[in-house]
Structure formats: C-alpha cells, structure tokens
Amino acid sequence: MTSYDSDKAAKLHRELHSHLPPAPALRLKALETVLTEKGFLGADAVDMWLDNYSENVGPMNGAKVIAHAWTDQAFADRLAGNAISAFAEVVPSVEPDYNLRAVFNTPDVHNLIVCTLCSCYPLGILGMSPSWYKSTEYRARAVRNPRGVLQEFGIVLPESVEIRVWDSTSDRRYMVIPQRPDGTEGWSEEQLATLVTRNSMIGTARDLAPRAS
C-alpha cells in the first residue's frame, strides 16, 4: 500500500512551483503567444522593444544629457531653466511638449523622485521603471521617511544634507541630475555617460565614482 506523506508532498509542490515565473509574467507570456499565433505580433517584437528601451531609449538618453550638463555649464543652466527644451538639444526625438523638470544634486542637497498617486515615470528618459518604484511601500515611505529609504539603498547622508522629495504626476515628471564624480577630469561625454545609472536619475543612488578595474 502506498503511503502519503503530506509534508513531503507540500515540499515537492513548492519545489516544482518555485521555478515558475510569477502570475503576471505567465499571463503576459500567454497574451504574447496568442497575439503572435494570430499574426498581430512578430515573434521577436516584444524582445526587440524591451532591448530598445533598456539599451538605447531609456537610461541612455538621460545619461547623455547628464554627461553633457557635466561638461557644459551653459547647457546645465538651460537644463535647469527649461529641461525639455535643453534635453531636445541632445536627444531630438524627445517629445517637445513633455513637462519635465531637472533637479540638481549638490553637496548640501539630495533629490529623490516618487509618484505617490500612481507610478508616473518618464520611460523615454529614465528607461524601464523598476518594480520597487511602483510599490505602495516605496511611494508611501519615500515621502514619510526619505532618509530611511535612502539608507536602504546604501545612501547614508548626514543631517546637514537636505533631502528634497519630488512628487511626479501625469502633468509633470522629474529627473535628478547627480553630481559629477571626482576623478573624471578629462573624460569624454561618452565615458561620463557610462557612469550615470537609472537609480541616480531617480535619486536612489548618489555616489557615481568610477570603480577601479
């Protein structure tokens, strides 16, 4: 007679399902499969779209603009005055009526972006939004306890540094302009752009100093 061990069965069930993607990912894959089978979507269309946003469109656009601001003070001033107009000087494909404000980190000020009502996020500027940015916990705690949130991202700031939290909406988006790291004198804009990260443009990264290879 075959015996039944409930603990062993439960363990086996967990192991089998631990390798499955989360439910939203499974639903998305199923939808992608149906659209592909019906000819509405190319077999590699989604992968191409994601690659384009992650490698070319998103954070790379913001990084180019920030690198240019680091090397051209007149451009940085224009970016502070009319962000989208200045942005278009470097990335002409950006939407000209996009309401964007650039906020600059300084030794005495650190900026942090959040969207408390939803998860408004400038995809074409910052790239794909991270999952934590859309979470209820981040959206609530970034306003109530920004210093604590930053500590969880590894940013420990002295009390003398002011933290400014900017709440994005569907009408206005923000991007953080981090400080240029020391030790990058003589670097080209292309080299500088490699230091800029998506998180630094949100404000959950501050130290962009080049790492020794």
> Which is the catalytic residue, given 85, 93, 120, 213?
120
> Which is the catalytic residue, given 18, 54, 93, 115?
115
Partnered with residue 176 across adjacent β-strands are 103
> Which is the catalytic residue, given 85, 118, 170, 188?
118
Q: 115 catalytic, yes or no?
A: yes
> Which is the catalytic residue, given 3, 18, 119, 160?
119
Q: 6 catalytic, yes or no?
A: no
Nearest Cα neighbor of 200 from 170, 183, 180 is: 180
Exposure on the CB side of residue 147, measured as CA atoms within 13 A: 9
Q: 131 catalytic, yes or no?
A: no
Amino acid 186 reads G
Which stretches of the chain are DSSP H helices? 6-17, 23-37, 45-51, 58-71, 73-81, 83-90, 123-126, 136-144, 146-152, 189-193, 198-202
Q: Which residues are catalytic?
A: 115, 118-120
